Structure 1
Amino acid sequence: MKFLKLIRYQNLLMLAFMQLLFRYAFLKQQNIPLALSDWQYGLLVLSTVLLAAAGYVINNIHDVATDTINKPEDVVIGKGISETAGYNIYVALNVTGVALGFILSNIISKPGFASLFILIATLLYFYATSLKQIMILGNFVVALLLSISVLIIGVFDLFPVTNAENQPEMASFFSILTDYALFAFMINFIREIIKDIEDVNGDYNQGMNTLPIAIGISRAAKIALALAVISFIVCLLYSNTYFFQNNLFFATFYAFALILAPLLYFIMKIFSAKSQKDFHHLSTVLKLILFFGILSILIINLNIKYNA
């Protein structure tokens, strides 16, 4: 159980679910060639999950002092798993994840793609050791890595089988993946700011320079609010353009009920948020918005199928 807590298995399950959803609820339902077989796609999912798990481990190792103040119940290193064991687990997960990525890249005859897995592992390491202490930059990197986990699907499953004949069609599917990657980036970027506000006491004691420490909790919350309003407007326009105007009424209802309404709730609640508990609640709301946003790819596909 300590190991599962160390790698934050709930987040890993959500990551795997997201990647499987895009493959089997979306791409597999289209009449297009895919570069990866089922077991090869399984390697892609496993590789990204292992690298994410390694990122959580190294983050937990470097966050012991901060978490002891902010979330003492979540501290694992030194309480069941030693720091040395933590580093060994980190190395094992990273080496396995990168090795699987290297194997997969060679299977599709794109050995250069292996550098993407090395880049992910490197960014996660530097985030845990230094970048998260830099205002905004750490938030940006975490949000970027989540969006990469969506884009990597197109890089490995669509790009290798794209040719002159099917390029326009494949580009449209890659564009859809890009839309979801941008959505994931926006919501997760806001969530990272909220988490920084939630953890401000421990971060301040460790000498970090996160956004709420640099400009204050109130101003940081206003920035999160502004970003949430922008995200709400973008999602509203997107739903109108691609769902409502194409008579995808169930998808439109889904977007309003489980993405736009919670976003509006977040915007309203952040005005009165004061305590750590309030910001933790808002972080959970954003996590649910992200989950239901990703799940919408299934709803849209079903809506198109049964409208046809």
Structure 2
Amino acid sequence: MTAAETARGLLELTRPVNVIAASVLTGIGAFVAGGVENAPFSVGAAVLATGLAVGAGNAINDYFDREIDRINQPERAIPRGAVSPNGALGFSVVLFVAAVGLSLTLPTLAIAIAGINLLALIAYTEVFKGLPGIGNALVAYLVGSTFLFGSAAVGEIQTAGVLFLLAAIATLTREIIKDVEDVDGDRAEGLNTLPIAIGERRALLVALGLLVVGVLASPLPYLLEYFGLAYLVVVIPADLVMLYAGLRSFDDPTSGQSLLKYGTFLAALAFIVGRVDELLGIL
């Protein structure tokens, strides 16, 4: 492998789209909490730390998942030989160290969240991933906690707490659907994911039930008077997209979980719109 191919492989290990998405979610958490204009350095440090930590977590996940990926994802960097297993492990350590260094510049609550998340990222694949539902719940917490981390970086988590709850539910649903999609490779590796433990259809019913709970909870920011009508105008279409995604997953899990991702980001956009409306009084 050439140096360029190795560099490309290292970049792929981080899942750049996921890194950018998680960093944006942290920024949204800070914005919803109203701290972007008051603590720009803390927001920047939190956003960068999130990106580094997610990249590190993805890299170490690929290190531990390298045998499963030979079945499910043979085009990934380690199975195709672009990056060695030890190279991926060392790369993840460097990213983790950088993320910790940035996190230590933040308030105590943000440091605590970062510490918990870093431990969870490291333990996920080896300890929790193969446990029915528990690994999914951990991933859901990690995604939702990006909002908490961003808001904690600026010292206020109340509003972002609701966003954390909604994002965690949507992510848990998507993770279950992804496990249905990957059931063949997971079964070959001896993992006991939720679809393997209770059956694929039952797992999808659990996912859909969780999604309905999240949709029913989505008006909370409006009902609690965190945001006005503008929030509802955006969150209702997001709810419809996510419900359709949940139903779609029974016929096509790949399409369903992809649609659910878009619905989740649309729901996050609702919080941005709600915050902007709160500042400008548009609706």
Q: What's the TM-score, normalizing by structure 1?
A: 0.81
User: Partner residue of 1:238?
Assistant: 220
How many angstroms does 1:91 deviate by? Answer: 1.0
User: Partner residue of 2:43?
Assistant: 41
226-235 vs 7-16, which deviates more? 226-235
User: Partner residue of 1:15?
Assistant: 22
> Which blocks of at least 5 consecutive residues in structure 1 are unaligned?
160-173
> Which blocks of at least 5 consecutive residues in structure 2 are unaligned?
1-7
Question: Which residue, out of 193, 199, 207, partners 1:216?
Answer: 199
Write out per-residue CA displacement over residues 15-62 of structure 1, whole angstroms, 9 at most, x where no aligned residue. 1122223334661489xxx5xx32232112111221111110010111
Q: Label 1:116 to 1:20 Cα distance change in 2 as closer, same or farther (>3 A).
A: closer
CA–CA distance in structure 2, aligned partners of residues 239 and 178 of structure 1: 10
Question: Which residue, out of 1, 5, 10, partners 1:3?
Answer: 10
Larger radius of gyration: 1
Q: Label 1:130 to 1:28 Cα distance change in 2 as closer, same or farther (>3 A).
A: closer
How many angstroms does 1:150 deviate by? Answer: 1.2
Task: Answer yes or no: is 1:86 the counterpart of 2:55.
Answer: no
Task: Answer yes or no: is 1:269 the counterpart of 2:248.
Answer: yes
Counting aligned pairs with the same residue, the percent is 26
How many angstroms does 1:75 deviate by? Answer: 4.4
Are 1:200 and 1:212, in contact at CA under 8 Å, matched by a contact in 2?
yes
Task: Answer yes or no: is 1:307 the counterpart of 2:282.
Answer: yes
Are 1:190 and 1:228, in contact at CA under 8 Å, matched by a contact in 2?
yes
Are 1:139 and 1:189, in contact at CA under 8 Å, matched by a contact in 2?
yes
CA–CA distance in structure 1, aligned partners of residues 111 and 234 of structure 2: 37
Question: Which residue, out of 19, 22, 34, partners 1:27?
Answer: 34
**Structure 1 runs (4+) greater than 6 angstroms displaced:** none
Are 1:60 and 1:77, in contact at CA under 8 Å, matched by a contact in 2?
no
Question: Aligned ranges for residues 67-86 of structure 1 at < 5 Å?
Answer: 67-77=69-79, 79-86=81-88
Write out per-residue CA displacement over residues 144-173 of structure 1, whole angstroms, 9 at most, x where no aligned residue. 1122221122323115xxxxxxxxxxxxxx
Question: Size of the alignment, in residue pairs?
Answer: 275
User: Partner residue of 1:253?
Assistant: 233
Q: What's the TM-score, normalizing by structure 2?
A: 0.88
How many angstroms does 1:87 deviate by? Answer: 1.1
How many angstroms does 1:268 deviate by? Answer: 3.2
User: Partner residue of 1:201?
Assistant: 184
CA–CA distance in structure 2, aligned partners of residues 260 and 188 of structure 1: 14
User: Partner residue of 1:296?
Assistant: 270
Q: What is the root-mean-square deviation in Å for CA atoms of aligned residues?
A: 2.5
Write out per-residue CA displacement over residues 212-254 of structure 1, whole angstroms, 9 at most, x where no aligned residue. 111111111111121122222222x4376368xx861x43222
Residue identity opposite 1:84 in structure 2: N
How many angstroms does 1:186 deviate by? Answer: 0.3
User: Partner residue of 2:114?
Assistant: 117
Task: Answer yes or no: is 1:286 the counterpart of 2:260.
Answer: yes
